[in-house]
Amino acid sequence: MARSIATRTGDDGTTSLLYGQRVPKDHPQIEAVGAFDELNAALGAAKAAAGDPARTQELELIQQNLVAIMGELACAETDAARYAESKFGKLADADLARLDTAVAALEALGLKFDGWATPGANPHAAALDVARTAARRAERRLVALPAQSRSVRPLLLHFTNRLADLLWLLAREAES
Dump the DSSP string for the chain: -PPPS---TTTTSEEE-TTS-EEETT-HHHHHHHHHHHHHHHHHHHHHTT--HHHHHHHHHHHHHHHHHHHHHTS-GGGHHHHHTSSS----HHHHHHHHHHHHHHHHTT----SS----SSHHHHHHHHHHHHHHHHHHHHHHGGGGT----HHHHHHHHHHHHHHHHHHHHHH-
- pLDDT above 80 for 114: no
List pLDDT tens digits, range 83-109.
999 999 999 999 999 999 999 999 999
Confidence tier at 18 by pLDDT (50, 70, 90): confident
- pLDDT above 80 for 112: no
Q: Spell 94-112 as b/e; 16+ CB within 10 A means b.
A: ebbebbeebbeebeeeeee
Domain boundaries, the chain: 39-109+118-175
Residue 9: how many CB atoms within 10 A of its CB?
A: 10
Query: Measuring CA to CA, which residue among 144, 176, 137, 129 is closest to residue 160?
Result: 137
Domain 39-109+118-175 has CATH 1.10.40.50: no
List pLDDT tens digits, range 127-167.
999 999 999 999 999 999 999 989 999 999 999 999 999 99
Q: Look at residue 1 in the predicted model and tell me its pLDDT.
A: 63
